Amino acid sequence: MYAFYEWNHAVMAPLRAVADATRALYQNPLNPLSHTDMGRTVAAMAEVFERSTRVYAKPEWGLHDTFVDGMRVPVIDKVVWEKPFGRLLHFERELPAGRRADPRFLIVAPMSGHYATLLRGTVEALLPYGDVHITDWQDARMVPVAAGRFDLDDYVDYVIEMLRFLGPDTHVIGVCQPAVPVMMAVARMEEDEDPCSPATMTLMGGPIDTRINPTGVNRLAEEKGIDWFRQNVIMKVPFPQPGFMRDVYPGFLQLTGFMSMNLDRHLIAHKDFFVHLVKDDGDSAEKHRTFYDEYNAVMDLTAEFYLQTVDEVFIKHSLPKGEITHRGHRLDMGKIRRTALLTVEGENDDISGVGQTQAAQTLCTALPDDMRVHYMQPKVGHYGVFNGSRFRAEIAPRIVDFALTHGGKRDAAQAPLVPVPDLSAETHDATLQPPEALDAAPTQPTVFVAPSEPQVAAEVPSEPTPEAFIVEVEAKTPVPEDPEAETPVPDEAIETHEPAEVMDASVSFEPADAALEADTALVPPVLEPHADGAIPITLADLQTALADGAEPVPSILPEGFLGAAATSAPTIKGSPKLVKAATRPRRKR
C-alpha cells in the first residue's frame, strides 16, 4: 500500500502543477476574470484540489522573537544535540549580559504522527519565562536502515541523554504520548540516583492509565489486539526514500485515522474554505491554510516503537500495573522522590480521558503532598491542553510557577507576572505580563486613585489585568482653567462605576506624568497607588471623563498627575468606557 500511495502521488504531480497554474492565472489581478465570481470560483476549485492532493512538508517554527521583561528580544532555534532519530532544539534568546537565569525547560514532543512544530504554541507561551528546549523527532522514512532500530527503550534512552546533556535543575514536560516514556526515564534516573534527574516533571494529557475513562482510541487498541496492528498498519518504506525497506507505521495512515475521527468537521472546514475563497475572504482562508499546513504534515514512526507502545501502554497497561520495564529492568514509580510532579488534563479530552494522566499521582507514592499538583482545565479538549488561549492564560503560568517553586539552582528566576489586585491590603501592586500576540497593539496603563470620603468599595475584575505594554505620551502646552467653571458638588454626590474594560489605545494628555516620562523602552510604566487606598482605572478612562465635562477631584489623584492642566481637554485615541470614579459631575445652572 505504501508503494501505491507514493506512486499515486507521483502520478498526480502533473495535475497538481496544472491546478496550481490555474489558480495563479485566475488570482492574477491583471486578469479581468480574477475580479468576477466565476474567476474566483475557478481559482478556489484549483486551490482546494491542489491542497487536497499535496504531501505536506515539515513546517517551519517561525518563532523569531518574544517578550522578556517587557522588551522584545530575538529568538534563534539551534540544534544542540543530535542522534539519528532525534535532535534537541534550543530556542536561544538574546538576553542582556548578567541577567538572572530563567527556569530551563525540556519539552518532550510526542512521536505520534505530527512533527514537533505542533507544539509551537507551547514553546511560544513559555519563551518569555524560560530557557526552552524541545525534542525534534526525525521522520522514520528519512533514517537509513543502517542507523539501526528505535523502540520505546531507545526513546527512554534519548530522554535520559538529553536530561544529562542539559544538566541538573531541568524541568521536563511530557505532552501527550511522551508522558509514559518521560515517567519511565525519570523513574530510572531516580533509581540510579542520577544527579541530572529533573527538578520537576509535568505530564500533560498523557495515557498513563488508559483503563480510566477509556476513549475510542483506547478501546480500539484493546479490541483489535497487537497482531492486528502488526498485520494491517506496518509497511516498508518504498524506494527512493532514504529509509528504503525500513518497517514503519506510515504517516498517511495516521492522518487518515486522525481525520476519520471527526470527518464531518473536516469536510465542513474545506467547504467553508472554498466559500471564503469565492467571497474573497482572505483572513478566514489564511487561517484555514495555517491550520491544515500543520495538521496535514505527518511523519512515519518506526514499527518497533509503535507496536511496543501500543502493546505496553494501551493493551497490557504495564505502567499502572507496575510491570513496565526498561532494557529488561522493571521500573518502580515509587522511586521518584526528588522530582516534583505536575499533571494537567483537559475536561473535554477525547484522546486521553479525564483521570488517565492524574493516575501518575497515585503511582508516585514516595512524593510528599507539597511536591505534587494536579490541574484539570475546564472547557478544553486534547489540543487545548497544550495550545490555545486557555493554555496561555491558565496552564502555562501554572507550569512556570511550579518550576519556580521546586527549582533548585535557578530559584532566583523571574516568575510570570500574573496580576492579582487585592483591595483589602494597605498597598496594592500592579504586575504585568507580556502580550499574547507579539504584534498586538499596546494596551493602556492602569492608574490607581484613592476615593474621597465617603469611600465606596469598588468591584475588582476577576480577570487578569492587561498585559505588558509601552505607552506613548505626548506633553502639550497646558490650557488655562476656565474662569467660568461651575462650582463642584459635594463629595457625597460622586458617582462610582465599575472599572472600565481596558481597550487598546495610545493616550496623549497635558502634561505628561513624570512617572511615564521614564525609559519606557526598558521598564513598563507603572503608577504607584495613592496612599489613601486604591481604585484602578485606566488613563484613558480618566481622560474621557474629563473630556465629557467632569471635574477632577484633586484630593484623590496621584500627586502631579494632572498638574496645572487638570481641566484641559485631552486627546484620546480609542473608545474606552466612561469612568467617573475620580471626577465630580459639574453642577447644572
Give the pLDDT confidence of 369-412 residue by residue, as tens digits: 999 999 999 999 998 999 999 999 999 999 999 999 998 743 33
Question: Greater confidence, 429 or 282?
Answer: 282
pLDDT in tens, 127-139: 999 999 999 999 9
List the domains of the chain with CATH numbers.
Answer: 72-223+304-406 (3.40.50.1820), 419-589 (no CATH)
Rounded to an integer, the average pLDDT of 156-163 is 97
Give the Cα separation of 203 and 364 in Å (integer). Answer: 13
Give the Cα separation of 206 and 356 in Å (integer). Answer: 7
Rounded to an integer, the average pLDDT of 69-91 is 95
pLDDT of the residue at 543 = 52
pLDDT of the residue at 545 = 52
Q: Is the pLDDT of residue 229 over 50?
A: yes
Which residue, among 588, 171, 118, 211, has the nearest Cα to 403 in the 3D structure? Answer: 171
Q: What's the per-residue H, E or C state across 170-221?
A: EEEEEECCCHHHHHHHHHHHHHCCCCCCCCEEEEECCCCCCCCCCCHHHHHH
103 touches 131 (CB < 8 A): yes
The average confidence (pLDDT) of the chain is 76
pLDDT of the residue at 392 = 94
Q: Among 47-51, 298-302, 329-333, 484-488, which is the least confidently predicted range?
A: 484-488
Rounded to an integer, the average pLDDT of 571-578 is 34
Residue 114 φ/ψ, nearest 5 degrees: -90, 160
CA 198 remoteness from chain centre: 22
Q: Is the pLDDT of residue 225 over 70?
A: yes
Q: Please state whether the predicted TM-score (pTM) of the whole model is above 0.85.
A: no
Cell digits for 497? 462605576
Q: Is the pLDDT of residue 211 over 70?
A: yes
Helices (H), 349-448: 359-363, 389-390, 396-406
pLDDT of the residue at 455 = 37
Largest CA distance in the chain: 94
pLDDT of the residue at 6 = 85
Q: Which helix (H) or strand (E) holds 24?
A: helix 2-27
Question: Greater confidence, 529 or 291?
Answer: 291
Cell digits for 459? 468591584
The DSSP line for 256-319 is: HHHHHHTHHHHHHHHHHHHHHHHTT-HHHHHHHHHHHHHHT-B--EEHHHHHHHIIIIIIS-HH
To 10 degrees, what angle do helices 263-278 and 251-261 make? Answer: 90
To 10 degrees, what angle do helices 263-278 and 282-295 make? Answer: 140
pLDDT of the residue at 482 = 44
Q: Is the pLDDT of residue 162 over 70?
A: yes
356 touches 212 (CB < 8 A): yes
Residues 6+ apart with CB under 8 A from 246: 140, 141, 143, 144, 145, 236, 237, 302
pLDDT in tens, 261-303: 788 989 999 999 999 999 988 899 999 998 899 889 999 999 9
pLDDT of the residue at 549 = 56
Residue 450's alpha-carbon distances to 420, 465, 562, in angstroms, are: 18, 18, 15
Q: Among 177-181, 421-425, 550-554, which is the least confidently predicted range?
A: 421-425
296 touches 53 (CB < 8 A): no
To the nearest whole percent, how much of the chain has pLDDT over 90?
A: 56
Give the Cα separation of 462 and 468 in Å (integer). Answer: 18
Neighbours of 341 (CB within 10 A): 23
pLDDT of the residue at 102 = 92
**How sure is the predictor about 66, in pLDDT bands with cuts at 50, 70 and 90?**
very high
Give the Cα separation of 459 and 499 in Å (integer). Answer: 7
Cell digits for 571? 486627546
Taking the CA atoms of residue 32, residue 35, residue 39 and residue 44 in that order, the dihedral angle to the nearest 10 degrees is 140
pLDDT in tens, 4-31: 888 888 888 999 999 999 999 999 999 9
To the nearest whole percent, how much of the chain has pLDDT over 70?
A: 69
pLDDT of the residue at 546 = 53
Question: Greater confidence, 425 or 168?
Answer: 168
Neighbours of 264 (CB within 10 A): 7
**How sure is the predictor about 513, in pLDDT bands with cuts at 50, 70 and 90?**
very low
Question: Greater confidence, 474 or 151?
Answer: 151
